[in-house]
């Protein structure tokens, strides 16, 4: 076996993990060695303090067991501590070391399991892929960072409590960016102690010795937004002329501790925007759940999008249809036509499906939905980083400058809200304000000046009409 060693970048980041800071964020591109380094730190801490307890959390239990429990953590132990004795207790979901230390793994999607795990105190909390973890979940996890345990190997009397976090960077509205980069508490906007919130960056090039060169080359060829996230490791901001802004989305955001706190929905739909293919480099299939309450308030409830084969996105859509007790699945038929309904009915023939067809460009279809957001008529229940990325970088020239990339999550959102707010489109297929535009002379928004486009967006946002 080759002698274990960290990469140069991991060596540079290692002092952050043992610094006096209680909260440590590592962010950057895909497969840059962040997860390996943090699992190495947890294994080291478990071996240094007998009877210590450490928790690794991710959005789903399946994901944390597959990626950490069956892959990264055992690799770390094999390479770094081959003589250490430990075992995996499948039923309870934790690694038990001979010195009595425990490393627990848990997804945040199983309430009973989360309650069981968080009934304990931990010396280390590790939030893996935190772009998928809400700020509310983060604060709950941090409250369990309370175990006081003595160091039995090495220097120090007590093991310092640590909250480790990693992610491929998402939007600048995400709580990790606000807390660690901007240094402010996301809700109350108060300053945070900078010496207690530190961060480091690692990108795929930093881990090149452990990666296939073709993998890095593939990241470089991704569309601009994904390249920035997965190769360059950058948090994304808003496009200045986008239809949506973070402020509009944040001002109407709704956080609930459990689904019992949600209102009763008059209707709910699952909208699907299927991709043409599911191979390497394919666009995602957008799968968005929307609801509307008795007062005409719209809600985005879930984002089940991803790169799927047809049977996979069909299962995802049907699962969400049953989970949210939706009325129907709304699916775009431009790609695949009737086959879209056939794929869904092959999984469950009893699920009602409405096929919709796009006869206009994405931007034109999205404008009335953006107007609803501007008026506070649509709220996001929690955070949807990937969807919000697409919304806040979606500009008027998208249809001409798409760079081979399709905002499928946004497309599904538009289909969902158009179905829930049928008054968005008049009986003749003309938007309510288009008659005014015709009377004043038609213009092409894609060839209009930036000033004209801005005036158009303001007019849409300020339009007074009842889409119900």
Residue with tokens 């901001």: 237
pLDDT of residue 261: 83
pLDDT of residue 255: 83
Are 394 and 242 spatial neighbours (Cβ–Cβ below 8 Å)?
Answer: yes
Reference 384, options 235, 241, 250; nearest CA is 250
129: DSSP letter: S
**Pairing outcome for strands 328-332 and 353-356:** parallel
What is the CATH superfamily name and number for domain 8-230? P-loop containing nucleotide triphosphate hydrolases (3.40.50.300)
Helix (H, G, I), strand (E, B) or coil at 31: coil
**Pairing outcome for strands 53-58 and 124-127:** parallel
Residue with tokens 């809400």: 134
pLDDT of residue 171: 79
- Contact partners, residue 302, CB within 8 Å, separation at least 6: 288, 289, 320, 323, 324
Measured distance CA(335)–CA(333) in Å, rounded: 5
Reference 366, options 294, 461, 449; nearest CA is 461
Measured distance CA(252)–CA(255) in Å, rounded: 10
Reported in sequence order, the residue ranges of 374-443 that DSSP labels E, i.e. its strands, are 378-380
Helix (H, G, I), strand (E, B) or coil at 235: coil
Q: What percent of the chain has pLDDT over 70?
A: 85
Domain 246-462 falls in which CATH fold? Nucleotidyltransferase; domain 5 (3.30.420)
pLDDT of residue 52: 98
Burial of 16 (0-12, 13-18, 19+ CB in 10 A): middle
Beta bridge partners of 198: 24
- Which residue intervals of 269-355 are DSSP H helices? 310-323, 338-347
Measured distance CA(320)–CA(287) in Å, rounded: 9
Domain ranges of the chain: 8-230, 246-462
Show the low-confidence residues of the chain (pLDDT under 70): 1-2, 240, 276-282, 335-337, 397-406, 425-468
Q: In what order do the strands lie in the sheet with 378-380?
A: 353-356, 328-332, 265-273, 286-293, 298-303, 378-380
């Amino acid at each position: 076996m080759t002698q274990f060693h960290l990469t140069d970048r991991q060596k540079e980041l290692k002092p952050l993990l043992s610094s006096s800071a209680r909260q440590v964020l590592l962010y950057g591109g895909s497969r840059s060695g962040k997860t390996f380094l943090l699992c190495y730190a947890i294994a080291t801490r478990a071996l240094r303090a007998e009877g210590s307890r450490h928790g690794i959390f991710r959005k789903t239990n399946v994901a944390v067991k597959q990626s950490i429990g069956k892959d990264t953590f055992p690799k770390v132990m094999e390479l770094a501590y081959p003589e250490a004795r430990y075992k995996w207790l499948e039923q309870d979901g934790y690694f038990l070391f001979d010195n009595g230390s425990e490393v627990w793994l848990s997804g945040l999607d199983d309430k009973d399991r989360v309650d069981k795990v968080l009934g304990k105190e931990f010396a280390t909390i590790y939030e893996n892929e935190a772009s998928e973890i809400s700020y509310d979940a983060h604060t709950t996890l941090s409250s369990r960072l309370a175990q006081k345990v003595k160091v039995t190997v090495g220097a120090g009397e007590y093991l310092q409590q640590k909250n480790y976090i990693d992610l491929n960077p998402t939007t600048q509205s995400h709580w990790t960016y606000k807390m660690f980069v901007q240094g402010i508490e996301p809700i109350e906007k108060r300053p945070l102690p900078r010496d207690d919130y530190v961060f480091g960056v690692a990108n795929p090039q930093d881990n090149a010795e452990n990666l296939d060169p073709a993998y890095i080359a593939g990241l470089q060829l991704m569309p601009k937004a994904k390249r920035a996230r997965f190769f360059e490791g950058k948090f994304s901001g808003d496009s200045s002329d986008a239809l949506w802004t973070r402020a509009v989305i944040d001002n109407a955001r709704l956080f609930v501790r459990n689904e019992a706190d949600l209102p009763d929905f008059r209707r709910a739909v699952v909208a699907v925007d299927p991709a043409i293919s599911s191979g390497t480099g394919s666009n995602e299939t957008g799968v968005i759940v929307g609801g509307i309450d008795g007062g005409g308030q719209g809600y985005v409830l879930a984002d089940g999008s991803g790169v799927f084969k047809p049977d996979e996105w069909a299962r995802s859509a049907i699962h969400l249809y049953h989970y949210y007790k939706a009325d129907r699945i709304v699916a775009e038929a431009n790609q695949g036509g009737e086959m879209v309904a056939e794929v869904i009915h092959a999984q469950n023939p009893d699920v009602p499906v409405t096929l919709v067809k796009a006869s206009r460009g994405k931007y034109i279809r999205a404008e009335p939905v953006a107007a609803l957001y501007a008026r506070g008529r649509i709220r996001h229940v929690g955070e949807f980083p990937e969807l919000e990325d697409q919304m806040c970088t979606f500009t008027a020239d998208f249809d001409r400058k798409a760079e081979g990339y399709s905002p499928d999550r946004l497309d599904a959102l538009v289909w969902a809200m158009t179905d829930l707010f049928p008054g968005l489109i008049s009986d003749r297929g003309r938007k309510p304000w288009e008659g005014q535009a015709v009377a004043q002379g038609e213009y092409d928004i894609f060839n209009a000046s930036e000033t004209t486009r801005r005036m158009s967006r303001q007019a849409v946002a300020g339009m007074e009409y009842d889409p119900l």
